Amino acid sequence: MDLTFVAVLGGLWGSFANVCIYRLPKDKGVVSGRSHCPKCKKKIIWYDNIPIISYLILNAKCRNCKSRISLQYPIVEMINILSFLIIYFLFGISLTTIFLMVLGLSFLIIFFIDLKHFIIPNSLTFSMMILGFIKSFDPNLNSIFPNYINSLIGGFFGYGVIFSIIFFYKQIRKKEGMGLGDAKLLAVIGFWFGWISIPFVIFLSSIFALVFVAPDLIKKNKKMSSQIPFGPYIILATIFYLLFKNNLDSLIYL
């Protein structure tokens, strides 16, 4: 498979990710009708919808009403292109590549939706749980994926950890802490990468959250009880887990 083809594929699916990021929080169908400008509501012509290229040609402005096009669109497309290229470079033409591209695309959509709207769509987490468990029955996939027993344990363990935190926090503080969307996302991680990934992802995502939120706490722009999107930190921690999985496994099995 040519790298140019992979990059084009990544851009097209990145464009689809932008559609999902915009429509899913509004409970709109992701395949219902062509894309339109959120300002003037004019439908976008196909040649104004080419990933990254159209953004540059149009100088980041709608052809019709000249309103600014969000920088999010090319950023999402570029991230997905890089994601597809890295996955292909590491795993070549394989089922593992396809599975990781699907998961990476889902992570990208969840990352930006949670960052902006503080929600994680069930349609994404439930479908990824199911796919993560189904693929665990294939013994020929890359070793980064667990067998179906570890996958099942991982899914329940991931959900159970966050659910327990939510439950006890509510009992002690008499109010909601984290959301169940985070529990479902961690269940996805467990189903895809097994129970052994969960402690590392929880620990590192908590560190990431603390590092990013600390400046606002110091400046008193946020309080400890302020709502923050935790999904992006879980996703970042999962990426780090995959990058250093071999090193972690060697430490665990010493």
Tokens of 81: 């292109």
According to the model, what pLDDT value does residue 239 have?
Answer: 95
Instruction: Enter the pTM of the model.
Output: 0.90
Residues of the chain short of pLDDT 50, as ranges, are 253-254
Integer angstrom CA distances of residue 110 from 90, 170, 217, 231, 236: 24, 25, 25, 7, 12
Average pLDDT, the chain: 88
Strand partners, 61: 68
CA 200, CA 247: separation in Å to the nearest integer? 12
According to the model, what pLDDT value does residue 174 have?
Answer: 65
Picking from 59, 81, 83, the residue whose alpha carbon sits closest to that of residue 8 is 81
CA 136, CA 133: separation in Å to the nearest integer? 5
Vertex 68 angle, CA 64 and 74, to 5°: 105
Residue with tokens 């991931």: 158
Q: How many CA atoms lie less than 13 Å away from 245 in the CB half-sphere?
A: 16
According to the model, what pLDDT value does residue 186 have?
Answer: 96
According to the model, what pLDDT value does residue 42 have?
Answer: 81
Residue with tokens 């929880």: 202
According to the model, what pLDDT value does residue 176 have?
Answer: 66
According to the model, what pLDDT value does residue 254 have?
Answer: 47
